[in-house]
């Protein structure tokens, strides 16, 4: 916890509420759409965030998995692709990235002259940690001439060794844009890789066996039990989920309704929520998204497939740390110039292809 600045008590209160969620998952499920702060605490904090942002010429970006207060205070909220595009286009001289480290690094790669801050440097990603630049170089040596397609959930050093980056919104479009006879190394997510292979029909694609611990933890059993309890509901599944393959198998066997089941990025989920007329929608991804979905369409009951699917890295960014980032200019993201220059080519290809997925601004 940060000392000074007058928000220490508020942070202690906020953490006490989050601790209750961690030890009592059902409380977490019920509280997801609510603030841990009181309305007046939020108003004071949000005013200070906006005052400091204006003073520092900063834009605050938040991923859809951030806690509700941070989603609501941010100037832009969305999925990885949308936030990368905002970072590339913003006129602000400072970007405060409320998300995980690889996202802030991507913003820095795209906007090298801007100051990019992340409120906690320890906010990493278990999926990005599944492959290093050395491992990728070794894999490339085994497949000379292959095109390397890297999910945005990778370090800058891995991006620098890749030909093109993707996000869950544009992965299939990018793979389709690569000539059919070209061998592909797809990394690091095995479930996203299997999904892309399924929808593109690509056979010459090798897939790295990485996974995100949060999405891998949303199991086929979670899906079966939730669907059995809500048989009329629509279904939204993030392609990183461990259950994606079995969900689509269940669709093909007629056990799940094809017209009501979709595999979507977090931004795609928000867009779909906007248009939904269903009474209930079952959601398989990190539970932070529920706040954005519920804000987008208050007529729908959004139900998590697994209420414990919370990313501890995303939740390292707290309201107090956002304030500290703005007040003290911490923590600055640094990407060595040679790595940034190499990584930029693959990231720029990523942001030029596919639809922009706002995800609730």
Polymer length of the chain: 361
Q: How far is the CB of 134 from ligand 13P (least distance, A)?
A: 23
Q: How far is the CB of 4 from ligand SF4 (least distance, A)?
A: 30
C-beta atoms surrounding 223 within 10 Å: 26
Q: How far is the CB of 203 from ligand SF4 (least distance, A)?
A: 27
Q: Indicate whether 95 belongs to the interface with ligand SF4 (CB under 6 A).
A: no
**Interface characters, 178-217, with ligand SF4 (x: CB under 6 A):** ----------------------------------x-xx--
Count residues binding ligand 13P (CB under 6 A). Answer: 11
Count residues binding ligand SF4 (CB under 6 A). Answer: 12
- Residue whose pair of structure tokens reads 């954005």 in the numeric block: 292
Q: How far is the CB of 265 from ligand 13P (least distance, A)?
A: 3
Nearer to ligand 13P, 167 or 296 (CB): 167
Stretch that binds ligand SF4, among 43-51, 120-128, 246-254, 259-267 (CB under 6 A): 120-128
Q: How far is the CB of 237 from ligand SF4 (least distance, A)?
A: 14
Alpha carbon distance 42, 35 (integer Å): 8
Burial class (CB in 10 A: 0-12, 13-18, 19+), 232: exposed
Q: Which does 106 bind (CB under 5 to 8 A by kind): ligand SF4, ligand 13P, none?
A: none
Site for ligand 13P in 229-288 (CB under 6 A): 240, 265-266, 286
Stretch that binds ligand SF4, among 119-127, 274-282, 318-326, 345-353 (CB under 6 A): 119-127
Nearer to ligand SF4, 96 or 178 (CB): 96
Q: Indicate whether 126 belongs to the interface with ligand SF4 (CB under 6 A).
A: yes
Nearer to ligand SF4, 226 or 266 (CB): 266
Q: Indicate whether 264 belongs to the interface with ligand SF4 (CB under 6 A).
A: no
Q: Which does 313 bind (CB under 5 to 8 A by kind): ligand SF4, ligand 13P, none?
A: ligand SF4
Q: How far is the CB of 44 from ligand 13P (least distance, A)?
A: 30
Backbone angles phi, psi at 217, to 5 degrees: -75, -10
Given 84, 147, 167, 170, the residue binding ligand 13P (CB under 6 A): 167
Nearer to ligand SF4, 125 or 148 (CB): 125
Alpha carbon distance 168, 355 (integer Å): 11
Q: How far is CA 88 from CA 93, 203, 344, in A?
A: 12, 34, 11
Given 106, 111, 147, 153, the residue binding ligand 13P (CB under 6 A): 153
Q: Give the footprint of ligand 13P on this chain (CB under 6 A).
A: 64, 79-80, 153, 167-168, 212, 240, 265-266, 286
The site for ligand SF4 (CB under 6 A) is made up of 100, 125-127, 153, 212, 214-215, 286, 311, 313-314
């Amino acid at each position: 916890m940060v000392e000074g600045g007058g928000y220490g008590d508020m942070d202690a209160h906020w953490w006490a509420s989050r601790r209750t969620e961690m030890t009592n998952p059902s409380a977490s499920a019920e509280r997801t759409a609510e603030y841990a702060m009181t309305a007046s605490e939020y108003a004071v904090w949000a005013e200070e965030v906006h005052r400091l942002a204006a003073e520092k010429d900063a834009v605050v970006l938040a991923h859809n998995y951030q806690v509700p207060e941070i989603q609501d205070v941010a100037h832009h909220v969305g999925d990885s692709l949308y936030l990368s595009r905002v970072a590339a286009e913003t006129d602000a001289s400072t970007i405060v990235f409320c998300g995980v480290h690889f996202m802030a690094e991507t913003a820095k790669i795209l906007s090298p002259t801007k100051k990019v801050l992340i409120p906690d440097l320890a906010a990493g990603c278990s999926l990005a940690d599944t492959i290093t630049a050395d491992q990728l170089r070794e894999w490339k040596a085994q497949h000379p001439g292959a095109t390397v397609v890297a999910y945005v959930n990778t370090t800058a050093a891995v991006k620098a060794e890749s030909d093109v980056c993707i996000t869950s919104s544009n992965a299939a479009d990018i793979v389709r844009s690569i000539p059919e006879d070209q061998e592909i190394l797809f990394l690091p997510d095995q479930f996203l890789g299997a999904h892309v292979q399924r929808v593109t029909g690509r056979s010459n694609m090798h897939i790295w066996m990485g996974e995100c611990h949060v999405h891998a933890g949303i199991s086929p059993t979670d899906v079966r039990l939730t669907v059995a309890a809500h048989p009329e509901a629509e279904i939204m599944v993030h392609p990183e989920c461990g259950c994606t393959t079995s969900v689509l198998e269940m669709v093909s066997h007629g056990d799940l309704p094809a017209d009501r089941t979709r595999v979507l990025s977090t931004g795609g989920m928000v867009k779909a929520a906007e248009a939904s007329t269903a009474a209930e929608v079952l959601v398989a991804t990190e539970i932070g998204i529920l706040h954005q979905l519920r804000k987008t369409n208050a007529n729908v009951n959004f139900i998590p497939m697994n209420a414990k699917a919370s990313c501890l890295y995303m939740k390292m960014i707290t309201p107090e740390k956002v304030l500290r980032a703005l007040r003290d200019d911490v923590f600055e993201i640094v990407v060595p110039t040679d790595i940034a220059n190499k990584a930029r080519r693959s990231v720029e290809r990523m942001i030029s292809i596919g639809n922009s997925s706002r995800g609730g601004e």
